[in-house]
Structure 1
Amino acid sequence: MMIKNRWLALTIIGIAVIFCLSLWFNASVIASELEKSWSLTPPQVALLSAAIPIGFVIGAFLSSYFGLSDRFNIRRLFAISALSGAFLNGVLIIVDQAAIGILLRILTGVTLAGVYPTSVKMIAHWFPIQRGLATGILIAALTLGSSLPHFISIFTINMDSRWVLTISSTLAMIAAIIIFYLLPDIRLVSKNSSWSFSVFGKLLKNKPVMLVNYGYFGHMWELYAMWTWLPVFLSASFLRSAPNLDPWLSMLASFSAIGIAGGIGCIAGGIVADKIGRANLTIICMLVSAICAILIGFTFGGFIWLTVLVSIVWGASVIADSAQFSVGITEFAEADYIGTALTLQMCIGFLITILSINLIPIFQTLLGWRFVFILLSIGPIFGIISMVKFKYFEARVNDRSVQRDGSHGPS
């Protein structure tokens, strides 16, 4: 089935990303049950949380090294990755040993490195204009998919917890099918078909690309640690505020803050970024998210409505700028290496998340929930500094575009 409508293509890609990204946090949602059935030790519990990011980093590095998204048909790469992730995640249902389970989670993370970066490159192809909005919608799909296990768990709360794994694997299989059969080929094969250190050198010398990367790294320091530990924080806070409150309400609050608010934030961010500039949008979002990271701890055990309100603002602002870092790469990296540059950006970004995700529980025991999230505000503050510098390059590109259109004279 061939389609020409780019918005229909975006819909297909977005649905596939939602379904695939349900693989990311599904084991985290049922971590307490896995801890019992697998007899996990404290180090293994930490490793289980970090397994998907570790696998993603490995997969992203391998993809960058071999230039997979620049050498091969990215539609098929996405479909194969989604199908592989569905299979590996499905095997978890019959696993009863911690080592095998954690290994399968790492391998699932490897497969997701063939989903997320390739979807961004597909959007860059389909949307030479309105790319900020389109990529924002894509990241909204990623956000919704990442939070989907929390939503699924609401309906499986009185069932075997591994139904969450079954449903996620089924969704990833459907994603592979719709991408393979409903989305047409994108025939983008680079002449430079393999990795070389000259590519890495070009990226390092490309100042706007590196500034976007630095902004992204600060953003990633906060994002996945927030996504991982906010549900735990909300559960503990609700328990302190109202001990008899139904546990599914904290799951719903987590889904609302991460999934719904985050998805809306991504779309709104894409619309605003195309109007005020990517740098300005990222600076505003990181400022708001840093403030939320500092303030949310002070709502712990207090009014539930206030905790939820700050969580929703944080959930929207922490992800609303994410797409613009990817768009910045597609606009400033050389065309032959856009896929590799995107994958390398994500590789380093997710490597950073492993550190921040695992630091939170350590500092939580030292500082408590009231102060621990202040640690995450360091990332967006660093990112703001980078994106302020990036504004100069963005302004130069915009000036050249205006002059080329002939609608205004030289500035």
Structure 2
Amino acid sequence: MRSSMAPAVPRRILPVIVLSQFAGTSLWFAVNAVLPDLQRGWALPPAALASLTTAVQLGFVAGTLVFALLTLADRFPPTRVFLFCALAAAACNAAIAALDGQYALLLALRFAVGFLLAGIYPVGMKIAASWYREGLGAALGVLIGALVLGTALPHGLRALAGEGGMAFATGGLQPWQWVVLSVSVLAALGGIATASLVPEHRMGAGAPVRLRALSALWREPRLRASVFGYFGHMWELYSLYVLVPVVIATRHAGTTVSALAFWTIAAGALGCAGGGLFVRRFGSARVARWQLATSGACCVLAPAMLSAPQPLFVAWLLLWGLSVAGDSPQFSALTARNAPPEVVGSVLTFTNCIGFAISVASIEVFVRAAQAWPLAAVLPWLAVGPLLGVLAMRPLFRAAP
């Protein structure tokens, strides 16, 4: 219960943080959304889809470890860290628009964007936590929903750009350049908004990263259940995000692919928010298990759905997009709740790093497999992660100590 002496949180704080998080994380899949344009214009290798995505993921893993080990968000005002990273990531992303087929430089810039995203996504969460110590769970659902929408945004912008030119003035830019630069401007504005409109409200210095937190991931049964459920979720999540346009392209072409990819990924924001509504009644563990099981079922149903009538095909995609991301806030909450209090920050850091490393392996496996075999034979194997995750979560449903 809030103390009567505690100051009220200004109403603008959560909307500003949410919109800034949305803006900053729109950089994550900016190149994926325009990759078909780059493949046509630059003759990129078939492996480019996997390599460019894993470059961002590896950059994020490296950035998360560096930011945590150097405690940058404790040594410097978090809003300033967020601003610097948003501006630097926007600049790295905008530089892509000036490239002309330099694939190695494109990979390096994507790694840099991933590294700097570690100063946007986790630091944005830290800023929110400093203001919403009570009711953080609800704020977390909204924030992760914003991340999902940010991930979807470049696909939506590519759909707006149209085929063969823009439906509105672009100053002579090619559609893919307009998408890349628009996302960069948005990310920069998000950083400026946070630094300008969110006052410092620090929680105090965080605890340094402790390696013994790694042993806690295995030693504590309920924490192990939460973390391994999350790992199963990460096996599926980003591989699906990478493959969504490939799946849609089996039935559609052009900007329809981008538009439907946007709505499929964006549905996850509804899953995050909707899941939060059920948590008070059913608990985070049950909500996460339901959504993980649902997304796993969507994997298994892929062979039938790929040839299903169009309305059923679209409904399947939307349900998959909704459930694959909707459990993210609940896994974050479960991991924080079940971690030993003295190492909770370290546990979250290592869990995120391992989870994103798993996503790198999964992306490499499934993108390359999809180039060698039919999607109907590949997509069901994404269910391995959700299946193992659901099984790993069983200790969460035993009587709590």
Aligned to 2:328: 322
* Conserved 8 A contact 1:61-1:347: yes
* Conserved 8 A contact 1:50-1:358: yes
Report how far residue 89 of structure 1 moved. Answer: 0.5
Does residue 264 in structure 1 map to residue 270 in structure 2?
yes
- Which portions of structure 1, spanning 4 or more consecutive aligned residues, are displaced by more than 6 angstroms? none
Aligned to 2:171: none
* Conserved 8 A contact 2:55-2:114: yes
Aligned-residue sequence identity (percent) comes to: 31
Q: Secondary structure at the match of 2:202?
A: coil
Aligned to 1:223: 237
Aligned to 1:405: none
Aligned to 1:171: 186
- C-alpha separation between the residues in 2 aligned to 1:334 and 1:67? 20
Say which is worse superposed, 327-336 or 94-103, in terms of deviation: 327-336
Report how far residue 13 of structure 1 moved. Answer: 1.1
Aligned to 1:248: 255
1:378 to 384, 398, 401: 384
Please give the TM-score of this superposition, normalised by the length of structure 1.
0.87
Report how far residue 189 of structure 1 moved. Answer: 3.1
- Superposed CA offset, 1:349-408 (max 9, x none): 111111111212332244412231111111111111222212347x44xxxxxxxxxxxx
Q: Secondary structure at the match of 2:369?
A: helix
Q: Secondary structure at the match of 1:195?
A: coil
Question: Structure 2: which 5+ runs fail to align?
Answer: 1-6, 167-173
Question: Structure 1: which 5+ runs fail to align?
Answer: 240-246, 397-411
- C-alpha separation between the residues in 2 aligned to 1:83 and 1:209? 36
Please give the TM-score of this superposition, normalised by the length of structure 2.
0.89
* Conserved 8 A contact 1:59-1:113: yes
- C-alpha separation between the residues in 1 aligned to 2:275 and 2:128? 16
* Conserved 8 A contact 2:125-2:143: yes
Report how far residue 146 of structure 1 moved. Answer: 0.2
The one-letter amino acid of 2:187's match is: A
**CA, structure 1 residues 73+331, in 2 after alignment: closer, same or farther (shift >3 Å)?**
farther
Q: Secondary structure at the match of 1:99?
A: helix
The one-letter amino acid of 1:358's match is: E
**CA, structure 1 residues 202+301, in 2 after alignment: closer, same or farther (shift >3 Å)?**
closer
The one-letter amino acid of 1:77's match is: V
Report how far residue 164 of structure 1 moved. Answer: 0.7
- C-alpha separation between the residues in 2 aligned to 1:103 and 1:307? 37
- Superposed CA offset, 1:244-279 (max 9, x none): xxx3233222111211x2111110111212321111
* Conserved 8 A contact 1:39-1:98: no
- 1:379-398 to structure 2, matched below 5 A, reads 379-392=385-398, 395-396=400-401
Report how far residue 338 of structure 1 moved. Answer: 4.0
- C-alpha separation between the residues in 1 aligned to 2:335 and 2:199? 24
* Conserved 8 A contact 1:70-1:188: no
- C-alpha separation between the residues in 2 aligned to 1:7 and 1:277? 27
- 1:260-409 to structure 2, matched below 5 A, reads 261-334=267-340, 337-392=343-398, 395-396=400-401
Report how far residue 6 of structure 1 moved. Answer: 6.2
For the aligned residues, what is the CA RMSD? 2.2
The one-letter amino acid of 2:17's match is: I
**CA, structure 1 residues 137+191, in 2 after alignment: closer, same or farther (shift >3 Å)?**
closer
2:51 to 29, 47, 50: 47
- Superposed CA offset, 1:85-136 (max 9, x none): 1111111111221111110000100001111122223333333343332211
**CA, structure 1 residues 71+218, in 2 after alignment: closer, same or farther (shift >3 Å)?**
farther
**CA, structure 1 residues 86+319, in 2 after alignment: closer, same or farther (shift >3 Å)?**
same
Report how far residue 7 of structure 1 moved. Answer: 5.4
